[in-house]
Amino acid sequence: MQSTNDLTLATIPAIHGGRPLFAERFRFCRPLLPSIGNALKYYQAAYVNGTITNASLVKHLEAAVAERLQVKHCVAVSSCTSGLMMVLRALGLSGEVIVPSFTFFATGHAALWNGLRPVFADCDEETWNVDPIDVERKITKRTSGILVVHLYGNPCEVETLEQLASRHHLKLIFDAAHGFGSRHRDRPLGGFGDAEVFSLSPTKLLVAGEGGLVTTNDATLARAIQGMRNYGDLGAYDPEWLGMSARMSEFNAALALAGMPLVEAKVARRNRVAKIYTNLLAPLPGLRFQKVLPGDLSTYKDYSIHVSSDAFGMTRDALAEALLAENVETKKYFFPPLHKQRLYSSFHSVDLARTNHITNGIVSLPIYESLPDATVEQVTYAIVRLARFKASEKQAIANKRFQHVAAGS
């Protein structure tokens, strides 16, 4: 039987002297990899042949991805960052490119590496993706392209952005780093805009170790990326483009090929984890959640909540610290936003009120396939317990004030 003392300890958050809900810290992120046997099944022949780069596994992966994503061309590259850098260059962008500020810095870096001036557009209050209305507002005669992000795998307002880009004769590129496995209106991401670029690093649902995929319906662009990833040379020993060394190796392709059949179940599991979090946290005051538009499917590469400190009773940072005391690690994806980072401080950064507000309150909770429901529920309980404790503290202060006033009257 629990003693009164035990019960009291169970309701007190660890940061206030209670017992941590988790005895040990568990991982924030854990990639679910294919079995080593499956990966080696693909890789073994390449290894034995000595054809460990520029060979058939990369081609096999490209064909499998193009078929799965219903897009004409897929070009495998060394990373999403190198893919974005090459796509912006191959599309001939110059001057300004409109980008969200609420993203990982690799999005902006791709623009800076090309000597482009990033112009930041604000995000939508509910989806946290770029707001197409603000994108249009930021277009000037120097704008040559729009580079937007499917944040955490949540598809952007694709058609609105495509119409906008076409109306203003701008190139449209999607940073789909988080989006392998997402669907927009029942179509997989991959075939929208001029190009989409995926990341295959270990925090993503399709993992190659390191790697990226450029997908496009534009044959000229696909050919340029095939050349550019190989120093700009397609075999003539006389480069057509100023390229770089950004090929994907056969080992990375083998890992990705073995991991492809796992993606659908990963998306389903992450959606289930997200649903548990949202259902259990929604009754708390001061928390908001990312909206996925009807008909869309997110990968939930990350799951973040937004904390309004006044209503919740704690700041985002205080919540993160209190969760760490419970042995729950969190992240702030993506804070600070790009326009608050030193590399980007001199670029256009006005009218970003929603980006500022949302990123100031963002906290990302652990999400991965092997996280049991019970752990997810305990994490939400840690947050509920903190909120209750804060509310009772507030009530006690109000009571004391009332008694004081009553005694004085």
Ligand X SMILES: Cc1ncc(COP(=O)(O)O)c(C=O)c1O
Shortest CB 173 distance to ligand X, Å? 11
> In which residue are the tokens 């040379």 written?
233
Which residue, 82 or 143, has its beta carbon nearer to ligand X? Answer: 82
Shortest CB 48 distance to ligand X, Å? 29
Contact (Cβ atoms closer than 8 angstroms) between residue 181 and residue 197:
no
Contact (Cβ atoms closer than 8 angstroms) between residue 228 and residue 206:
no
Shortest CB 390 distance to ligand X, Å? 32
Which residue, 314 or 362, has its beta carbon nearer to ligand X? Answer: 362
Which residue, 149 or 314, has its beta carbon nearer to ligand X? Answer: 149
Shortest CB 205 distance to ligand X, Å? 12
Which residue, 76 or 164, has its beta carbon nearer to ligand X? Answer: 76
Shortest CB 84 distance to ligand X, Å? 7
Contact (Cβ atoms closer than 8 angstroms) between residue 303 and residue 365:
yes
Which residue, 239 or 336, has its beta carbon nearer to ligand X? Answer: 336
> In which residue are the tokens 């800076």 written?
112
How is residue 265 written in tokens? 């179940």
Shortest CB 284 distance to ligand X, Å? 28
Nearest to 87 by CA among 206, 19, 177: 177
Looking only at the bridges linking them, the beta strands covering 117-121 and 96-100 are parallel
Rounded Cα–Cα distance for residues 383 and 388 (Å): 9
Looking only at the bridges linking them, the beta strands covering 171-175 and 195-199 are parallel
131, with CB counted inside 10 A (0-12, 13-18, 19+), is: buried
Shortest CB 214 distance to ligand X, Å? 12
Which residue, 312 or 333, has its beta carbon nearer to ligand X? Answer: 333
Which residue, 368 or 389, has its beta carbon nearer to ligand X? Answer: 368
Looking only at the bridges linking them, the beta strands covering 183-184 and 187-188 are antiparallel
Quickly count: other Cβ atoms within 10 Å of residue 253's Cβ.
28
Shortest CB 80 distance to ligand X, Å? 3
Rounded Cα–Cα distance for residues 280 and 289 (Å): 12
Q: What is the distance in angstroms between the CA of the first residue and the CA of the last residue of the chain?
A: 46
How is residue 370 written in tokens? 């092997």
Rounded Cα–Cα distance for residues 70 and 355 (Å): 33
Shortest CB 197 distance to ligand X, Å? 8
Which residue, 91 or 281, has its beta carbon nearer to ligand X? Answer: 91
Contact (Cβ atoms closer than 8 angstroms) between residue 229 and residue 75:
yes
Q: Which residues bind ligand X (CB under 6 A)?
A: 79-81, 103-104, 106-107, 149, 175, 177, 199, 201, 212
Shortest CB 106 distance to ligand X, Å? 4
Spatial CB neighbours of 35, under 8 Å, sequence gap ≥ 6: 258
Which residue, 197 or 387, has its beta carbon nearer to ligand X? Answer: 197
List phi, psi (to 5°) of 172.
Answer: -125, 120
Rounded Cα–Cα distance for residues 370 and 273 (Å): 10
Which residue, 43 or 198, has its beta carbon nearer to ligand X? Answer: 198
Rounded Cα–Cα distance for residues 206 and 186 (Å): 19
How is residue 400 written in tokens? 């004391």
